[in-house]
Amino acid sequence: MTNPLPKVVAVATFALAVVQSASAHIGYTNRNFGILEPGVVAKSVTIGAQTVTGDYGWADGTDGDFGDSHKTRAFRFTLANPGSVMVTVSGAAGGTRGAALLPAFSIYFGLAHVAPAVADHDFSNISQDYLLSLGGVAKEGCFVALGDWKVGNDTSVAPFDYAELSSFAYLANAADGNATNYGSASGIHGDGVADGTVSGTFYLSAAGDYSMFVGGALYGGTDVLGTYGITTTIGVVPEPGSILLIGLAGFGVMARRRSGLWK
């Protein structure tokens, strides 16, 4: 997505943010839901007091020029065994724009580099080299909302070994509203009501570490500097119910709206 703000201004803003705070890189500080044991231990964890920059960060990652992960917020959780989890994300008080966000999220198998490793970001040398290797249109960042993606940190030197990149294997998404706000990309699971809350139930068929990236669902949004409050909850669902299998290395996903199955 090409935003009205000139690219040079966006790059300058990013550079300033990096100088001021390393937290602009991908990290999970205060955003770790911990270990979940579906079907074994009932558990619901809510993380509030978080913000996300801009109103378009998730939707920006639905097109061919990808998106900037700095406009999303990363969360993590670990499954001790396969099972169903329920995710709810809502706009909340906080930031400069309060609860006005239309949220969306994607779930992936895999994690970014965590401490003591150096944090990943879209504009590290290895990330940029990898994006160039993909060809096609120039990329705005590494984040892909509807597919697999990779990102690296600043410790890699040329010639780059892409095995050093963090990899995110895409599983599922959910978005607040409909195509009027999040655009026409294929594969977006909207809840049909742009009310500031989105939820879904997903069957994840492998134990291990997962990441969830949350951002704004306003495709074509322009609020680059504004920040929005979000509250995110993950709960274990004891019975997975019917499962919609997807062809991704043995992973299954079942996703449904609050009001019924996605169509």
Across the range 14-22, mean pLDDT stands at 35
Q: Let me know: does 163 contact 130? Beta carbons within 8 Å.
A: no
The structural architecture, per CATH, of the domain 7-261 is Sandwich (2.60)
- pLDDT value, residue 239: 63
Determine the Cα–Cα distance for residues 22 and 121; give it in Å rounded to an integer. 10
Residue-wise pLDDT tens digits, 112-163: 999 999 999 999 999 999 999 999 999 999 999 999 999 999 999 999 999 9
**Omega before 159 cis (within 30°)?**
yes
Q: What is the CA radius of gyration of the chain?
A: 17
pLDDT reading at 42 higher than 90: yes
What would the DSSP string read from start to end of 97-156?
TTT---EEEEEEES----TTSPPBBTTSHHHHHHHHHT-SSPPS-SB-SSS-EEEB-TT-
What average pLDDT does the segment 82-95 reach? Answer: 96
- Residue-range domain boundaries for the chain: 7-261
